[in-house]
Amino acid sequence: MAVFEYAPAPESRSIVDVQPTYGLFINGEFTDPRSGESRKTVNPATEEVLAEVAEADASDVDDAVRAARRAYEAVWGPMRGSDRAKYLFRIARIIQERSRELAVLESIDNGKPIKESRDVDLPLVAAHFFYYAGWADKLAYAGLGPDPKPLGVAGQVIPWNFPLLMLAWKIAPALAAGNTVVLKPAETTPLTALLFAQICQQADLPPGVVNIVTGGGATGAALVAHPDIDKVAFTGSTEVGRQIARTVAGTRKRLTLELGGKAANIVFDDAPLDQAVEGIVNGIFFNQGHVCCAGSRLLVQESIADELLDRLKRRMTTLRVGDPLDKNTDIGAINSAAQLEKIRALSAAGEAEGAQRWSPPCELPARGYWFAPTLFTGVSQTHRIAREEIFGPVLSVLTFRTPAEAVEKANNTPYGLSAGIWTEKGSRILAIADQLRAGVVWANTFNKFDPTSPFGGYKESGYGREGGRHGLEAYLAR
Ligand code: NAD
């Protein structure tokens, strides 16, 4: 098959002004950390150090929480919803205006392809702020009682796979509902959150309403343990989610957890195969597979397995891996050396347990963190690659014969975040979706997101919902 060559089409980096050092954003200003510590953030595609970013300790977190409390009591809590909405609409518009800058910065700090940060992350980030801005003066109509009240100060901890989008999922509903926030971005991807802090200044958001404390796990732990936090929202691994649940247990703090996943993408024998192949590719290779709701387990009906896999492999040979800033790139860099190591180790375990590994011929850049798109066939349900979240561009393929077997295998996981169904029959979509223990079920599509639609998990994927009217519930007391 002919694979067309493309000329390089790099997006310019010059639009972004990366500072050599960043402080913490507390009470509307950038300040040096009391800790005196900092940490480097690198471009995972080149290993170039982008900046030194402050590492907040418990005393810095305390300053941020105090600022958030003051802002909540004096300004943001008492403010009319229609006035809060004006600030949120203003932030949303500035995000749109500066979206190219934000997209380039996201791609260089995270490694994701510019076509995703530009066409998926940033439009969704703006849409989240617009959507929740619309709710700020209509909380009485959210179905949460006639006069729902904000909770107070929210402590929010987010991961590195969608740095700015996860920030939007956390901050937009919290602010719309009248809470103030202290947010900790992930240690490998702090830069867009710090640019967002500048956007808060540009929007004249009252000081202390949004505070950004950068740092690693210890900073996050100090935030969730702080006694003056009313609400904890966490997105990240199930393991850290468990620790946070233990910290919060027995306190008055409200908690929502968005954790890992191991989604089944189920293809029935009557599915439109070419469309399904696109959905499978999008399901597992979007964002290098660093997606909690990735379709990482492909369940394909046995009678069409060979044909589907042929078409899938052919499609995978056309995926372009490389420079995240090139507009033709489909798969960018793995976010960190540690994540690359985890993907390598689980893939090696797949081979050792007897599954067959396949990747298209693919030249990887010499520097940076890279992993070729990979497919495992001959996977059984007991294999680690069928059970554990790999969080990389690795697809495990299993087969089934009957719809009942598909459902049984799909639900045979400790997780329950998402699932996909590919079939021509509407009645089958409804019947199967009803039986899947997953928070989101996509039919004849995958990885579709919308701010109006709730998102969240069953079982070890966490509890609580983000997005939509449901997302307000986590930030309001009836
Ligand atoms: P992680 O749990 O290691 O880190 C997430 C965040 O928690 C980071 O900001 C980290 O600094 C912080 N943290 C680490 N230890 C902490 C502690 N003891 N107390 C408080 N905070 C702490 O996860 P990760 O590797 O950064 O992210 C990948 C995971 O996130 C995957 O498992 C993925 O499925 C999950 N995820 C889930 C969703 C969802 O919506 N359900 C979305 C994105 C990612």
Report the alpha-carbon distance of residue 357 to residue 282 in Å, rounded: 20
Nearest protein CA to atom 12 of ligand 1, as residue: 217
pLDDT score, position 193: 98
**Ligand 1 atom nearest residue 187's Cα:** 11
Pocket test for ligand 1, best of 110, 156, 240, 248 (most atoms within 8 A of CB): 240
- For ligand 1, whether the C-beta of 292 sits within 6 Å is yes
First to last CA, the chain: 61
Distances (CA, A) of 179 to 2, 79, 161, 201, 254: 55, 11, 25, 18, 13
Tell me the CA–centroid distance for residue 272 and ligand 1, in Å: 36
Q: Which of 149, 169, 215, 209 is nearest to 188 (CA)?
A: 215
Residue 215 structure tokens: 């740092």
- For ligand 1, whether the C-beta of 193 sits within 6 Å is no
**Averaged pLDDT, 274-293:** 97
With beta carbons less than 8 A apart as the criterion, state whether 154 and 76 touch: no
pLDDT tens-digit series, residues 80-135: 999 999 999 999 999 999 999 999 999 999 999 999 999 999 999 999 999 999 99
Nearest protein CA to atom 41 of ligand 1, as residue: 258
Task: Domains for the chain: give ranges and CATH numbers.
Answer: 13-259+458-477 (3.40.605.10), 264-443 (3.40.309.10)
Is 424 annotated as catalytic? no
Report the alpha-carbon distance of residue 364 to residue 373 in Å, rounded: 11
Distances (CA, A) of 231 to 259, 399, 436, 472: 17, 43, 30, 13
- For ligand 1, whether the C-beta of 415 sits within 6 Å is no
Does pLDDT of 261 surpass 90? yes
**Averaged pLDDT, 125-148:** 96
Band (478; pLDDT cuts 50, 70, 90): confident
pLDDT score, position 3: 59
Point out the catalytic residue in the list 11, 55, 116, 258. Answer: 258
Is 292 annotated as catalytic? yes
pLDDT score, position 473: 95
> SS3 of 41, please?
strand
Does pLDDT of 49 surpass 60? yes
Nearest protein CA to atom 34 of ligand 1, as residue: 260
pLDDT score, position 4: 67
Tell me the CA–centroid distance for residue 235 and ligand 1, in Å: 5
- Cα 169 from chain centroid (whole Å): 9
CB atoms within 10 A of CB 303: 12
pLDDT score, position 471: 95
Does pLDDT of 1 surpass 90? no
Report the 3 state secondary structure along 138-150. Answer: CHHHCCCCCCCEE
Nearest protein CA to atom 13 of ligand 1, as residue: 217
Q: What's the whole-model pTM score?
A: 0.96
Pocket test for ligand 1, best of 128, 234, 238, 259 (most atoms within 8 A of CB): 259
Does pLDDT of 464 surpass 80? yes
**Ligand 1 atom nearest residue 216's Cα:** 11
Does pLDDT of 2 surpass 90? no
Point out the catalytic residue in the list 55, 106, 116, 292. Answer: 292
Q: Which helix (H) or strand (E) holds 82?
A: helix 81-97
**Averaged pLDDT, 12-28:** 97
pLDDT score, position 5: 78
- For ligand 1, whether the C-beta of 453 sits within 6 Å is no
**Ligand 1 atom nearest residue 462's Cα:** 41
Tell me the CA–centroid distance for residue 238 and ligand 1, in Å: 8
Q: What's the chain's average pLDDT?
A: 96
- For ligand 1, whether the C-beta of 169 sits within 6 Å is no
pLDDT score, position 151: 98
- For ligand 1, whether the C-beta of 244 sits within 6 Å is yes
pLDDT tens-digit series, residues 226-241: 999 999 999 999 999 9
Band (69; pLDDT cuts 50, 70, 90): very high
**Ligand 1 atom nearest residue 160's Cα:** 26
Tell me the CA–centroid distance for residue 360 and ligand 1, in Å: 31
- For ligand 1, whether the C-beta of 196 sits within 6 Å is no
pLDDT score, position 80: 97
Tell me the CA–centroid distance for residue 387 and ligand 1, in Å: 19
Pocket test for ligand 1, best of 157, 166, 187 (most atoms within 8 A of CB): 157
Tell me the CA–centroid distance for residue 43 and ligand 1, in Å: 20
Tell me the CA–centroid distance for residue 374 and ligand 1, in Å: 24
- For ligand 1, whether the C-beta of 243 sits within 6 Å is yes
Strand-pair category, 440-443 with 418-422: parallel
Nearest protein CA to atom 40 of ligand 1, as residue: 258
Q: What is the edge-to-edge ordering of all strands in the sheet holding 24-26?
A: 29-31, 24-26, 210-212, 180-184, 153-157, 231-235, 254-258, 462-463
